[in-house]
Amino acid sequence: MSHVRRVVITGAGTVNALGASVAETMAAMKEGRCGIGPLDFPDVDRLTIRIGAQIRDYDPEAHFNRQQIALYDRFTQFALLSAREALGQSGLSFSGALADRSGVILGNSGGGLGTLDDNYRTVYEEGKNRVHPFVVPKLMNNAAASQVSMEWNLRGPSFTVASACASSNHAMGQALLMIRSGLADVMVTGGSEAMLCFGGIKAWEGLRVMSKDACRPFSANRNGMVQGEGAAVYVFEDYEHARARGAEILAEVAGFSMTADAADIVMPSRQGAARAISGAMKDAGLNPEDVGYINAHGTGTAANDKVESAAVADAFGHHADRVMISSTKSMHGHIIGGTGAVELVAALMALNEGVIAPTIGYEEPDPECALDVVPNVAREAEVSAVLSNAFAFGGLNAVIALKKAP
């Protein structure tokens, strides 16, 4: 077998309810700050679910000009801002051969739902027969990836991945494989979501899996998920390429695995999740005792947290009692197609700052979630390898393994 290229992270960026940068987000995670609060958008009074981790005090005009705002849905804006931070940190610019060998793969589930919502209102509720000419290029799911490619002249493999709550983990997995296979040298990757609008929440209400009061992952009194919004974007780079230019390396993307439950459209499967967790460790050459921290999918629903705990126990064996696992969704909400990307911030924080983000809102132990969930308060710990789980509706699972920078 030919030499498999190693892949490292050389830039990170995010915007979410906890902060407008990686540094702000990590600071909030260390404090255990909750970004969830009352939702604020038109017709919220017609919803039964009225909380979410909304990005407050966000001013598009501070970042984009009038023409850009006309073309960029909120999910695209979040992706562009995150990409600016990540690429700024990486120090890369793209021209010539490097531009052709660099691409962007982002995860996303709802596309421009806010744009869709606004324009449905225009034609159905207001009875108008004309919508803005840019509705389609604004709402299409690949708008964010395409706009990032244009802003940074990324001319290689680029597309959008949609696998509901696993979208951005799947996207980052594709970016890893793209570099490993030699099809690209640099990949800008992560995910973005902006589903906090009337139609977005109204649709979710129907399933009756959302909490009206709080996100309490792994707690016996948990009663559902709470949505958030935002994006995170990373620069994945061939290790030799990064080393040759003396780049600062944040972590190695050491392993990835994806599985399908092939079972149920909404109920998670212990086996499918366990296979994905084991697969990521195997791909990274890690044994369970090497892994110090898992960023859980941890949605705060009855079903997910129980099944995820069992899957971790299956995949980790005896070491399940020692590994730390936390759900940062308790702070930034469930960012659906962008959630795995935002959660990778907690994985980087564990590796590089020696701080494990807590599971906040934890009130009562649940015997069916008997793991060390780092309840309520962040913890200092040295870890050298971490996992980040994502298990989507539709039974599509994707787990990423990171190691400390080589």
Shortest Cβ distance from residue 207 to other proteins (Å)?
A: 6
Active-site annotation holds for 297: yes
Active-site annotation holds for 334: yes
Q: How far is CA 31 from CA 95, 175, 348, 378, in A?
A: 41, 32, 16, 7
Q: Which residue in 170, 241, 297, 332 is the catalytic one?
A: 297
- Cβ atoms of residues 275 and 219 within 8 Å: no
Shortest Cβ distance from residue 235 to other proteins (Å)?
A: 38
Scanning residues 175 to 234, which ones bind other proteins (CB under 8 A)?
Answer: 206-209, 211, 222-224
Nearest CB to other proteins, comparing residues 10 and 211: 211
Structure tokens at 173: 């997995």
Among 70, 183, 303, 377, the residue binding other proteins under the rule CB under 8 A is 303
Interatomic CA distance for residues 112 and 120, integer angstroms: 12
Interatomic CA distance for residues 32 and 9, integer angstroms: 25
Interatomic CA distance for residues 42 and 139, integer angstroms: 19
Q: Residue 283: phi, psi to the nearest 5?
A: -60, -30
The answer to whether residue 68 forms part of the interface with other proteins (CB under 8 A) is no
Read off the DSSP letter of residue 3.
P
Interatomic CA distance for residues 264 and 276, integer angstroms: 17
Is the dihedral angle over the CA atoms 306, 308, 310, 312 positive or is it negative? negative
Shortest Cβ distance from residue 301 to other proteins (Å)?
A: 5
The answer to whether residue 265 forms part of the interface with other proteins (CB under 8 A) is yes
Active-site annotation holds for 319: no
Among 23, 40, 46, 48, the residue binding other proteins under the rule CB under 8 A is 48
The answer to whether residue 44 forms part of the interface with other proteins (CB under 8 A) is no
Interatomic CA distance for residues 382 and 387, integer angstroms: 14
Shortest Cβ distance from residue 307 to other proteins (Å)?
A: 13
Shortest Cβ distance from residue 326 to other proteins (Å)?
A: 20
The answer to whether residue 45 forms part of the interface with other proteins (CB under 8 A) is no
Q: Residue 86: phi, psi to the nearest 5?
A: -65, -45
Which ranges of 91-230 does DSSP label H, i.e. alpha helix?
96-100, 113-120, 135-139, 143-152, 167-180, 198-205
Scanning residues 348 to 377, which ones bind other proteins (CB under 8 A)?
Answer: none
Closest CA to 147 of 156, 138, 135: 138
- Cβ atoms of residues 176 and 397 within 8 Å: no
Q: Residues touching other proteins: how many (CB under 8 A)?
A: 15
Q: Which residue in 170, 241, 332, 334 is the catalytic one?
A: 334
Scanning residues 93 to 122, which ones bind other proteins (CB under 8 A)?
Answer: none
- Cβ atoms of residues 69 and 140 within 8 Å: no
Q: Which residue in 34, 165, 197, 369 is the catalytic one?
A: 165
Shortest Cβ distance from residue 276 to other proteins (Å)?
A: 23
Nearest CB to other proteins, comparing residues 5 and 50: 50
The answer to whether residue 266 forms part of the interface with other proteins (CB under 8 A) is yes
Active site residues: 165, 297, 334
- Contacts with other proteins, residue ranges (CB under 8 A): 48, 206-209, 211, 222-224, 265-267, 301-303
